Amino acid sequence: MTFLKVQGIYKTHRSGLRGKVEVLKGVSFDVEEGEFFVILGPSGCGKSTLLNLIAGLEKPDKGEIILKGRVVSSPRVCVPPHERDLSMVFQSYALYPHMTVYGNMEFPLKMAKVNKKEREKRIREVAELLRISHLLNSKPSELSGGERQRVALGRALVKRPSLILMDEPLSNIDASLKQEMRLEIKRIQRETGTTFLYVTHDQIEAMALADKLMIMREGRVEQIGEPLEVYKDPKTPFVAGFLGFPPMNVVSRKVFLKDGKPYIKLGNWEYPVEGPEGEEIVIGIRPEYISLRKGKSFVITSVERIGNETFVYLEGDGVRLVAKEKGGHATEGGKVDIAVYKFKIFL
């Protein structure tokens, strides 16, 4: 039995200025028990609304949400959040400032009427798991962003839910701490075996954390699959252009004939394809698959050096490209040709 099944979910919000806005348009997907499922997409694509529907904070206009074989959300059914055996971790931490770390973690257990001895046992266990035992007597104002996020996760874990929903939990954390927190969240999920449903707009987070990845755009599902599978074999130009850093170069080329055979051309680079002359073909090329040569087809408009990686931005032949250079010798204003040794064609 599928742990979580989301079937044909539609949701419309009403805005004073924009009127009715269709936020979700027939979203369907399955999550297996113990899976780390990540929903990735740009701001406004509907991913947080979807999480709210699963949590029971909103009702869908159409469709069903089935958790552990039970319909918990539909136009006619809305099981209250506290009856869904789930916890939610918010972007803003949502900690009670007047309570200690211990008090914040104890609160949901008090609401669930768990006895004092069991409350203390769970809090100590989770605090040790999260490595925050030394902070139990501290107030949120005394903690760093990473520590607050651990407490928020701890408050969710002490309830021992079967599902944890996380809405952009690392957005307020310094870049230097994000990698550490990603590793911690993944470790905790593995050690507890809890099913995680994680929402983010950050591609690096998504690729690093996900067992299964779902990419959304404008209220619809673009693609679902394992992270490496989606990265290597994007099914739409949007997925190709959105996933990866920098994202894939996605450009449109017309087929031309050379010696009677069909080709596409990008600057100096030509490649044989199938199709009639004049047909428009969309191609996707990862930056790491482009190498630079001496030439004059493209102008280097910018060079971005990030640690030991160098990204070179090019303009020419009516397009803009980015290449990942190994040598780091490119200079702004220079002219180059390109060679492409791997690419993906979308028909």
User: How, if at all, do strands 163-167 and 70-73 pair?
Assistant: unpaired
Phi-psi region of 147 (alpha: psi -120 to 50; beta: other; left: phi over 0): alpha
Tell me the pLDDT band of 90, cut-offs 50, 70 and 90. confident
Query: Which CATH class for the 4-242 domain?
Result: alpha beta
Q: Is pTM beyond 0.75 here? A: yes
Residues of the chain above pLDDT 90, percent: 63
Query: Residues 96-143: pLDDT tens digits?
Result: 899 999 999 999 899 889 999 999 999 999 999 888 999 999 999 999
347 pLDDT more than 50: no
249-346 CATH fold? OB fold (Dihydrolipoamide Acetyltransferase, E2P) (2.40.50)
**pLDDT of 16:** 66
186, 192, 195, 196: CA torsion to nearest 10: -30
93 pLDDT more than 80: no
Under 8 Å between Cβ of 300 and 336: yes
Q: Tell me the sheet residues that pair with 325.
A: 310
Q: Where are the domains of the chain?
A: 4-242, 249-346
Residue 2's closest CA among 23, 22, 30, 41?
30
Rounded to the nearest 5°, which phi and psi values hold at 186? -65, -40
Sign of CA pseudo-dihedral 178, 181, 187, 189: negative
